Amino acid sequence: MKPFDAKTLNRVWRSLLVETLDESAHNTAMIASINTDSRAIKPMDCFVALVGEHFDGHDFCQAAVNQGANLLVVESKQPIDCPQIVVKDTRRALGLLAAEIRRQFGGQVIGLTGSVGKTTTKQMLANICQQVGKTHMTQGNLNNDLGVPFTWFALPEDCQFAVIEMGANHQGEIAYLAEIVQPDVGLVLNAGQAHLAGFGGLDGVAKGKGELFSALQSHQTAVINADDAYANWWQDMAANAGSKVTFSMRENAGADVYASDIQLAEQRFTLHYGQHTATVNLPVVGKHYVQNAIAAAAAAYAAGLPMAAVVAGLQTFTLAAGRQQLIQLGQVVIIDDTYNANPQSMQAAGDALSFATGYKIMVLGDMAELGEAQIEIHAQLGASLQHAADAFFCTGTMMQYFAQHNQRAQWFLDKQRLSDELLQWIISNVDKTVPTTILVKGSRSMKMETIVEFLRQQI
């Protein structure tokens, strides 16, 4: 972030101001970066007090000043000797400052959202952009009302591209983020069964994601998934966008960017990119990655990037942590897919596992945030994954229903019991001549990575 002075901040935050900074403090309050955590404050930082679930940041203003903060942004004036700007809403203040940094950015901005595959597609897209010029992207999964502003605060100088992931679990969130991001190219990957509860059903999810399209104006491009059941809705929601680009996994959908000759076992497909075609060899296995690759290619097409950059970017991208990372432990390959899970990504993981040779095990935890249908969804998945692996080790309240509908599944009361049993199974069964692949997956709240850690230490 380039340094901001307090005068500029007063201007950026004028619509939120309760009490403006007094004139005498203007010169001293030159800030290097924005920080919301008193424990991580560095000299010249601006401390923004957020009210969270567990703590109230206002209680840590003195600690922040002791650490070197030279400006406080607060919702009520603090009895502390330090320049302060008092605003109505400190979260909004972060958003407005991010929007200002975005306005000053001269490069191209690609914003993406969707139910599943955002981070993976972001990794692909950023690697494509990187082939052409310096690219900034969302770090990790910082995709919400705090993560998106911090993504902008971390923008390095002279970038040509910014690839921004936008996440949501309720209506209005994407609209808020789109106002900050103002993407030149806006991509919605899909609408699926993630955060069903918060959005109020699948229509609600599609509407919530479509808020990105509704935000687009005549100088911006909408990138639409022609294969999604909500494609027509999204075409309507993108009515004010200057142009539209479509993508598809089907040859006859009439899409601008599409895949043909998809050879899943070889991880290869033919990319159709406007008038051009090329063969792409992906470094990852599974049909869902082809979907993400096509979506990333379509966004690159909308941004006017050459096809050579797309091919090079897709062939060399790397997955983010916890998304199907391969870990070789002696005879056993662990696929660490513990970052998160929902019905689509569970199915995709099972489909991808079916390409592994040898003995296959799925170690599964609950899928969260599925609302009223959660029991039925777990039961259905149990049945549909029946043939994806030779054995299933499950844990979590909801996974009981999965196990009831899957003859190869065993259910355990907790992760420790599951881990102990799995280790015993590995010790007595793993055969030097047959490879064994163990895929571990569950929702974030299940923290299934502790099982991966246990196996790492014990095998």
Binding site for ligand ATP (CB under 6 A): 116-120, 141, 143, 167, 288, 291-292, 323-324, 337, 339-340, 344-345, 348-349
Q: Which residue is nearest to Mg ion (CB)?
A: 119
List the single partner that 344 binds among Mg ion, ligand UDP, ligand ATP, none, CB under 5 to 8 Å by kind.
Answer: ligand ATP
* Residue closer to ligand UDP, measured from CB, 53 or 414: 53
Span of 21-29, 45-53, 231-239, 292-300 interacting with ligand UDP by CB under 6 A = 45-53
Non-local (6+) Cβ contacts of 8 within 8 A are: none
**Residue 415's closest CA among 387, 436, 445?**
445
Contact 108, 309 (CB under 8 A): no
370 counts as binding ligand UDP under rule CB under 6 A: no
The reply to whether 50 sits near ligand UDP by the rule CB under 6 A is yes
| Interaction between residue 52 and ligand UDP (CB under 6 A) | yes
54 binds ligand UDP (CB under 6 A): yes
What are the residue ranges of helices labelled H in 105-189?
A: 118-130, 147-153, 173-181
Are the C-beta atoms of residues 117 and 228 closer than 8 Å to each other?
Answer: no
Q: Is 43 helix (H, G, I), strand (E, B) or coil?
A: coil
**Binding residue (CB under 5 A) for Mg ion from 36, 141, 267, 324:** 141
* 288 touching Mg ion, by CB under 5 A: no
CA distance 251 to 255: 8
Q: Specify whether the CB–CB gap between 123 and 200 falls below 8 A.
A: no
Spatial distance between the Cα atoms of 154 and 136, rounded to a whole number of angstroms: 9
> From the DSSP assignment, how many helices (H) and strands (E) are in the chain?
16, 22
Query: How many alpha carbons fall within 13 Å on the CB side of residue 89?
Result: 8
* Spatial separation of the C-alpha atoms in residues 405 and 315, rounded to whole Å: 38
Q: Between the CA of residue 168 and those of 151, 206, 339, what are the distances in Å?
A: 16, 11, 17
Interface segment toward ligand UDP; rule CB under 6 A; list 47-55, 101-109, 379-387, 451-459: 47-55
Question: Least Å distance between CB 35 and ligand UDP?
Answer: 8
- Report, in Å, the least distance between residue 55 CB and ligand UDP: 3
Q: Is 393 in the site for ligand UDP (CB under 6 A)?
A: no
Nearest-approach distance from CB 37 to ligand UDP, in angstroms: 3
Residue 337 interface partner, choices ligand UDP, ligand ATP, Mg ion, none, CB cut-off 5-8 Å depending on type: ligand ATP
Residues from 106 through 125 that contact Mg ion (CB under 5 A): 118-119
Distance CA 179, CA 235 (A): 20
Footprint of ligand UDP (CB under 6 A): 36-39, 50, 52-55, 57, 60
Footprint of Mg ion (CB under 5 A): 118-119, 141
